[in-house]
Amino acid sequence: MDLLAVLVIVVALLVLLPFIFVKGKDAPFVPTEEEAVERIMEIAEVGANDIFYDLGSGDGRLVIAAAVRGAKAVGIEMNPLRVWYSRIMIAVLGQWQRARIIQSDFFNVDLSEATVIVLYLLPKANEDLKDKLLRELRKGARLVTVAFPISGFELVKEDPRGVVYGPVRLYKVPEFSPTSVL
């Protein structure tokens, strides 16, 4: 291998490594199993009138599924590789008018327009998000947790088939939350 080839490989690795190793701060990347995607859409009854948010949107599969159902769909993801992969998939599948991915930590994004929000995160992240969700989400918004529960919301339905790590749960944002009266 000549020096130029070595240089090209080193530069490519330097460029790619940060993309590969930006870890999910509040959950590792474990995509929802394909066969569970539609069940998540169904339990939340995602439709054309919805504004759908996936916090930690991974490869964008839930965002795309919500957009295909006619919802305005937003994914928030901090790993740039997954952000760009999902943006490309959104374009390839012709969903760019309804779906978009924000590259950010979801704690820094205003969630107040969401009517449906999905969390497939670790238990601590769900708890850390609780106050932000109670503060920002409109009353009656639907909250879906994948695998791990969240406290402070009204549990409406549970699908025990869920994903490999646990059930899918549907919650409603209460009419009166502790933060809404402060």
Ligand X SMILES: C[S@@+](CC[C@H](N)C(=O)[O-])C[C@H]1O[C@@H](n2cnc3c(N)ncnc32)[C@H](O)[C@@H]1O
Question: Interface residues with ligand X (CB under 6 A)?
Answer: 24-27, 29-32, 54, 56-58, 61-62, 76-79, 82, 105-107, 120, 146
Token pair of 113 as six digits: 């327009």
> Whose CB is nearest to ligand X?
56
H helices of 22-153, in order, are 34-43, 61-68, 80-92, 123-136
Cβ distance to ligand X smaller for residue 31 or 123: 31
Residue 48 Cα distances to 41, 63, 72, 84, 154, angstroms: 12, 13, 7, 25, 24
Token pair of 131 as six digits: 């106050």
Q: What is the smallest separation between the CB atom of 5 and ligand X, expressed in angstroms?
A: 32
Q: What is the smallest separation between the CB atom of 29 and ligand X, expressed in angstroms?
A: 4
Cβ distance to ligand X smaller for residue 31 or 47: 31
Cβ(111)–Cβ(132) below 8 Å: yes
Q: What is the smallest separation between the CB atom of 65 and ligand X, expressed in angstroms?
A: 10
Cβ distance to ligand X smaller for residue 81 or 174: 81
Cβ distance to ligand X smaller for residue 26 or 136: 26
Cβ(41)–Cβ(168) below 8 Å: no
